Amino acid sequence: MDLPWVIMIEILSRLPIKPIFRCRAVCKLCGGTVQVTPKFHFHPRSAILVGSCNGFICLVGGLTHIENHSVYINNPLFGEYFKLELPKWEISVTQVAYGFCFSEVSREYKVLRLVDRKVQDDIRASELEYDFGKANVNGTLHWMDSEKTDSIYCFDVETEKIKSLLAPPGLETPSSNLRLAELGNCLCLTDNIHIWNVNINIWWMKEYGIAESWTKNSILVESIPRGMVNYSFEPIFIWKDGEILFQSCSKLAWYNPEMKTFRVVNVDSDVIASTKYTPSLYSLKTVMGDDF
């Protein structure tokens, strides 16, 4: 960037379009931390990470049982964000939950809003377990009911209809102690609450929608690092060689299934929330157009 602008234009005008776009991917310093700089109007510890799609992240600022919370869509690579306009808060609403997804068919991004209402006797009337999961597989968001272990609810992003899948047969762990995740484009179910003398179990749906394709793998409790025992384990990402990144409380660790060992990931501070993220060179201005 020390070159005169006239010379810069002369160089760029001689290049094909692909190298010009590639240069945007390598213009940051190597080895440093990428800072997310959008000026959100809330403290990071009050943020709820809804999910990530194609390089865009959905965040909720504030508590979802009060009216003045906010929902943002953000591209951390460029520091861009915009705030969603939410429906009017009604007196009967007690809490809301959000999901973030992308339709491969319509090429549309969608933010889902599940509303929990109170009825006359002040009993919550929500028909569904009150939280969308981050398990976005096959264009479908998945979650479980807190009182049932035989079914997994599915929201088809394109048709906007709800259906269900059969959970692993013989599942005895309460669904409140389970967590759904997407690993390698497979729907997975894992123990969310880990007890010091019990192994961590992961169920994989090898063929989507086929109940008979559920397979179970166990992580031996002896392999869990000190400081992570007796905490929840949430799978975040699976690497090409099969290593799985887990979040446990405020720490991150890679698990090698062949060696049956963990290695802790050094992070500058405690981890509040984590999600799989692939950077995008698409600007929010390109996606939103004049609505940005």
> 65 in a domain, yes or no?
yes
DSSP string, the chain: --S-HHHHHHHHHTS-HHHHHHHHHS-SPTTSPPPP----SS-GGGEEEEEEETTEEEEEES-TTSTT-EEEEEETTTTEEEEPPPPPPPTTEEEEEEEEEEETTTTEEEEEEEEEEB-TTS-B--SS-S---SEEETTEEEE--TT-SSEEEEEETTT--EEEEEPPTT--S-GGGEEEEEETTEEEEEESS--TTS-EEEEEESSTT-GGGEEEEEE-GGGSPTT-TTS--EEEEE-TTS-EEEEETTEEEEEETTTTEEEEEP-SS--------------HHHHHGGG-
pLDDT of residue 42: 63
> 182 in a domain, yes or no?
no
> 111 in a domain, yes or no?
yes
pLDDT digits (tens, 9 = 90+) for 72-104: 998 888 888 888 999 888 888 888 889 898 888
pLDDT digits (tens, 9 = 90+) for 269-285: 888 888 888 888 788 88
> 135 in a domain, yes or no?
no
> 190 in a domain, yes or no?
no
Count of domains for the chain = 1
**What range defines the domain where residue 114 resides?**
28-123
What's the whole-number mean pLDDT along residues 63-80? Answer: 86
> 104 in a domain, yes or no?
yes
Q: Is the pTM of this model over 0.85?
A: no
Report the range out of 6-15, 76-85, 167-176 with the highest average pLDDT: 76-85
